[in-house]
Amino acid sequence: ADEEARALASGVRVVSLADLTAPGADPWDTQPREHYDLIRALLTDVPSATPVQVWPFEVWRMRMPQRELDPRGLMIAVAPDGRWVGTSQLAQTLPAQPGHLHNGLTGVRREWRGHGLGLALKLAAARAALARGFTHSHTGNHTGNAPMLAINERLGFTREAAMVTLRWSVEGSE
């Protein structure tokens, strides 16, 4: 509770995408450029063996609604000046596992790190999931992302077997 209060003491609000969306409006049309710019900034900063390829804006606008993410579980950290500075996306149901959700990207813009916002965002997303009857969350981390691994361990996530990604290409095709 102390860390969460410290994170919010800077004047940042943590709200769901649903709360930022007018009643009856499409959440993917609510400040789409601000949302995309946040996601792009965070994805390009995720530790990875190969750089994350971010979709162009037009592709992102087309694909996000198809992912069927629940805007009530997609949290946004909004700075006092209105800029979107972080997100946690505990919004994708796992149909084969009732009561389970997938926590996708959680991240905070570089200049806002170190204030506890990552933890505050994940806690807000978890509360929103619990309020909707979900009891389990699944996520993934690159092993080099020590800050997010630490947050996930503090929240009680347990490590599972590592996933290895293999790439194969025919010589001369790349």
Tell me what the pLDDT averaged over the chain comes to.
88
pLDDT digits (tens, 9 = 90+) for 95-139: 999 999 988 899 999 999 999 999 999 999 999 999 999 999 988
Q: Cα(7)–Cα(1) distance, rounded to whole angstroms?
A: 10
Q: Cα(34)–Cα(20) distance, rounded to whole angstroms?
A: 12
Q: Is residue 167 part of a domain?
A: no
Q: Cα(39)–Cα(74) distance, rounded to whole angstroms?
A: 12
Helices then strands (H, E): number in the chain? 5, 5
Q: Is residue 163 part of a domain?
A: no
Q: Is residue 162 part of a domain?
A: no
Domain containing residue 36: CATH number = 3.40.630.30
Domain range spanning residue 135?
2-154
Q: Is residue 90 part of a domain?
A: yes
Residue-wise pLDDT tens for the chain (174 aa)? 788 888 889 899 999 999 999 988 888 887 889 999 999 999 998 887 778 889 999 999 999 888 888 999 999 999 999 999 999 999 888 999 999 998 889 999 999 999 999 999 999 999 999 999 999 998 888 788 888 888 888 888 888 777 677 777 777 655
Q: Is residue 174 part of a domain?
A: no
Residues paired with 111 in a beta bridge: none
Q: What is the DSSP string of 5-34?
A: HHHHTTS-EEEETTTTS-TTS-GGGSSHHH
Q: Is residue 171 part of a domain?
A: no
- Structural domain count of the chain: 1
Q: Is residue 169 part of a domain?
A: no
Q: Is residue 166 part of a domain?
A: no
